[in-house]
Structure 1
Amino acid sequence: MTSHEPGSADHPYTPPPPPRGGRGKAFGFGCLGALIVLAFLVVVALAVRDDGGDSEELPSPTPATTGPADPGVEEPEGPEAREEAAEFRECVEENGTDPEKMALQRVTAVTGSRDLNRENAAAEVFTDLPGGRVGPSIGQARLIAGAFASCYEADNGTVTVYSADGNMLATGRF
């Protein structure tokens, strides 16, 4: 043995360096992260598409099969609520977009649109839409709330859109 070989008295034995395995892990985690981001973008795109924001076709009206879930949000009866709904429809027919006009076919009554001069004005729009805050009707309800905000002004107004069974579907400010 020569004096310059590993393990000799001049050079104590040193183990070989550990293998470099970090590149494969980094590449694998990078691909996994890219797949997660891609999946998230697909879910968001599907949610926006199903939201009904720019959709030309809206589901046909379905009659309500049950009464209001909460007695505090029953649809008002009487001619005044239907007159306010007719005024709202006229405004949207003149100024609204095609999807808003189609969504407005689902409105059955409106309250509070004539009393907007007070602070914290609140209006309610009643529809024949099915469901609650999560469901197929949320896009149409948002269109209705947006159309209301386009037609009416108040310093601090809030509009609430209700389903056929009295569930709150959407809210908006105007």
Structure 2
Amino acid sequence: MTTQPPQQPGFPQQPGYPPPPLPQKKRSKAKLGCLGCGGILAAAIVIGGIAAAVGSGSGDSSPSAANSAASADSPKATASSKASGAAKTTGSSKTAAPRQSTADAFKAYVKEHESAKTREAVAHVTKVQGADKNNDILDAADIYTDYTGDLLSADTGSAKLLASAFADFQSSRGKASKNGLVTVYNADGDILSNGKY
């Protein structure tokens, strides 16, 4: 039995011998320089954070001095905060008004500005979504109703009136969109009509 010599670079591998090891790659000076710069940057961030934490305290950082200053002012501060709190609670009950939903605002607009058929149709609106967010790229608003018909029913005509009235409503609020689409749905969530706004 003859032994075969180990494989030489550039020659095919001999059966029974492991492949030769690959030569080690040396790191370039640019990569080593980047690692050094990253370390310097990280050290500067850490030092800056420590300096900011130390510099943010007042001249006397002992907790006892801070507690004694707070306790000296506490009776005055407590009395003034109670007085301002009482003023806030009595005034807030008069000034805080519940925000009107978009569906209610839409119904009020239709009752004031639209035809009798549209006023009749708006009584079926249960919810309006997406009317307040516009980006003029692709705006979509949804009007949900309690209609039971489908796309080929008599309810479709009323849904078209609602879509048209919605476009007028958005224009009156200054929220008309270049690419707005309003969709009117029935009680089951099926589409009755849609239109641009």
SS at match of 2:123: helix
Q: Give the one of 110, 131, 156 matched to 2:128.
A: 110
**Per-residue displacement from partner, 1:109-129 (whole Å, max 9, x unpaired)?**
000111124421100000000
Q: Which residue of 2 aligns with 1:54?
A: none
1:126 correspondence with 2:144: yes
Q: Tell me which amino acid in the other structure corresponds to 1:167.
A: D
Q: Tell me which amino acid in the other structure corresponds to 1:162.
A: Y
Q: Give the one of 164, 169, 181 matched to 1:146.
A: 164
**Alignment identity in percent?**
36
Q: Which residue of 2 aligns with 1:164?
A: 187
Q: Tell me which amino acid in the other structure corresponds to 2:186.
A: S
Unaligned runs of 5+ in 2: 1-97, 171-175
Give, in angstroms, the shift of residue 96 of structure 1. 1.2
Superposition TM-score, scaled by structure 1 size: 0.51
Whether the 8 Å contact between 2:150 and 2:190 is mirrored in structure 1 is yes
Q: Which structure would you say has the larger RCO, counting Cα contacts within 8 Å and 6 or more residues apart?
A: 1
In structure 1, distance between residues paired with 2:162 and 2:148: 14
Unaligned runs of 5+ in 1: 1-78
Q: Which residue of 1 aligns with 2:118?
A: 100
Whether the 8 Å contact between 2:136 and 2:180 is mirrored in structure 1 is no
Runs of 4+ residues over 3 Å off in structure 1: none
Superposition TM-score, scaled by structure 2 size: 0.45
Q: Tell me which amino acid in the other structure corresponds to 1:158.
A: L
Between Structure 1 and Structure 2, whose CA radius of gyration is higher? 2
Q: Tell me which amino acid in the other structure corresponds to 1:157.
A: G
SS at match of 1:140: helix
In structure 1, distance between residues paired with 2:157 and 2:187: 15
**Which has the larger helix fraction?**
2
Q: Give the one of 85, 91, 102 matched to 1:84.
A: 102
**Per-residue displacement from partner, 1:58-114 (whole Å, max 9, x unpaired)?**
xxxxxxxxxxxxxxxxxxxxx99x811101111112221111111000000000111
Two-structure CA RMSD over aligned residues (Å): 1.9
Q: Tell me which amino acid in the other structure corresponds to 2:185.
A: Y
